[in-house]
Chains A and B, each alone.
Chain A
Amino acid sequence: MSSHVAFDATAAATPPLDVPRHGALGVVQAALTLINNVMAVASAVAIGVAGGVLTWEVIGRYFLGIPSDWQDEFSTFLLIGATFGAASWTQARRGHVAIDALAHVLPPALDRARRLLADLCTLAFTGYFAWKCAELLNEAWQEGQTTPSAWGPPLWIPYGCMTIGMALLSLQVLLQLLGGSRRP
């Protein structure tokens, strides 16, 4: 089971795996890798900022008597943004864990077909989910939806992060699928 490695935070920072490196696909992958890296840095910053905001919430409320009203929601947005923002970067490293028990029992040719089918199903779901996120984003933008809290930040912000994250994830899966289908 591939979760052996992926549950170890120290092992999660592996370089990209089985991504196309040559030809037209390699060029698209290089561009996506650049975007993935930018998104990963932004997501890491978001996690760090969320930690800082929640720390400030304690200091502000407990020591300075400043009421907390926006910090939890702001942190939620940051952490949802980080989760979806880093989805494609994680996929490039095959960091989304899967059960690969059949890899050890199937003949190589059949196992290759299984992996391609798995990538195809993954693409079908992530693509569909990205589309549903985009619909949600459009609706939130058109209707000016906000959260129900007193602070009431606009919902297009998290929905936008979800849409971009899932779209990039789908593109990454597609590239791995196309790259994988060309390998012997």
Chain B
Amino acid sequence: MSTLQIGLMYGGATVLALFSGIPIAFALGGVATMFMMIFMPAASVDTIAQNVYEELASITLLTIPLFILKGAAIGKSRAGKDLYDALHTWLNRVPGGLGVAVVIACGLFAAMAGSSPATCSAIGSSGIPEMRRRGYSPGFAAGLVAAGGTLGILLPPSIVLILYAVASEQSLGRLFLAGLGPGLLLVILFAGYAMLHWRTEHRRATATADAGGARGDILLVESFTFRQKLAALPRVAPFLILLTGVMVALYGGIATPSETAGLGAVMALLLIAAVYGAWRLADVKPIFAGTLGESGMLLMIIGMSLLYSYVMSYLHISQGAAGWIVSLHLSKWLLLIAILILVIMLGFFLPPVSIILMTAPIILPPLRAAGFDLIWFGVVMAVVMEMGLIHPPVGLNIFVINRIAPDIGLGQVIRGTLPFVMLMALGVVILSLAPGIAMWLPDIVYNK
């Protein structure tokens, strides 16, 4: 049987298994095992458990539960609300400062917690009601928080980038640094849009008020004394110190990525105990339960995805598919667009972890051959996966917003996120035109 036929059968069996409703981890593991039994030497299948152990026994992969623990600890505390409140008091004089505060709070919280849903939930639970109270439209408020939350998979410690580092055999330190510039770019794009949107809504409300209509809440001017501004800082400062401390430990040569994950988790637990008094069993239990559920599920998918990729490689399916893509002789940018569309479409059904591990052996060789830097591509891929978090059919963040602000209709939330999907697409275009936005920092730090 030819590689093409085996590859088509492998793909078909995978689609069938996934859509039958078998958990993703076991669907991938099951298909891989079945093909090992049929197409590989009889002894191969005896090593499946060992294969999974050896793939998982990577200290880089095992940073994931610890980064999740750190995110769950910070996400369960009131740190998000305090962070947002502090930024709000400091930025209230900026036109559209409330929206800008939400975006910056999302970026900082995402960098501390490393989780998109946790960011949406933490910042949105105080940011959305406050924006609505101040006259912002519900759809815009929801869209802004949903989009801000996506920064969690771009800014370090992003689990998506950790997996990409493993799958592409690129330096995790360089990838984390490469995510910072594009993260900042998206923060600027989102904040700029928030300011423009505020200006439009403000102008409309002013016209209505001038014409003798009701005076909209968006016209209210709120001011804070310097004392109030200073009072907002003490609760936020420890978390910002944690954020910078972790980065200094990682890039100052003090700790490896795995040690940074452990250090960050322990520090986060100590901080929420010290700042919020969250040290009792009742406080800690949901943090560990959440960590266990998410990390167990993710690592099981990762282990089985790696087994799946191993079989794909052994049977020359990935090499054959990569060779076929190269043989199409697509132009460099057409190849990139085709691959990004594939990533978006897979994102309709699969979580980012599976997409990265399953597609990396197929898409990375042609991209490398076309002259793309794989660190740069990892960041672009993360931005594209961010888009998947706020557009249907998956749109994880849309559903998180729906949970924390159930009175905003799903349709309104989706309409509110659409401008941000466009802004992210614009971000990808800007990154393609100016790859230095992603690459300058790792190049400087690592003395390319």
Contact = CB atoms under 8 A, between A and B. Distances in A.
Contact of A58 (B17, B46, B254, B293): B254
A121 B294 contact: no
A90 B263 contact: no
Contacts of B53: 80, 136, 158-159, 162
A21 to B, nearest CB: 21
A122 B290 CA distance: 24
B19 interface: yes
B242 to A, nearest CB: 13
Interface in B1-21: 17-21
A102 interface: yes
Nearest to B264: A51
A11 B262 contact: no
B349 interface: yes
Interface string A108-124: 00000011011001101
A125 interface: yes
Contacts of B296: 43, 82-83, 86-87, 89-90, 95
A122 B262 contact: no
Question: What interface size band does chain B fall in?
Answer: 35 or more
B255 interface: yes
Contact of B394 (A1, A10, A162): A1
B57 to A, nearest CB: 5
A141 to B, nearest CB: 14
Interface in B240-281: 249, 254-255, 258-259, 261-263, 265-266, 269
A84 to B, nearest CB: 8
A118 B20 CA distance: 6
Contacts of A3: 24, 351, 394, 396
B266 A55 contact: yes
Nearest to A78: B62
A100 interface: yes
A7 B292 contact: no
A82 B292 contact: yes
A4 interface: yes
Residue of A1, A6, A9, A133 most packed against chain B (CB within 10 A): A9
B305 interface: no
Given A79-B62, A97-B297, A132-B48, 17 more contacts: A6-B297, A8-B121, A8-B290, A9-B75, A9-B117, A9-B291, A13-B290, A43-B296, A44-B288, A44-B291, A76-B57, A90-B297, A93-B293, A101-B349, A103-B21, A122-B22, A124-B30
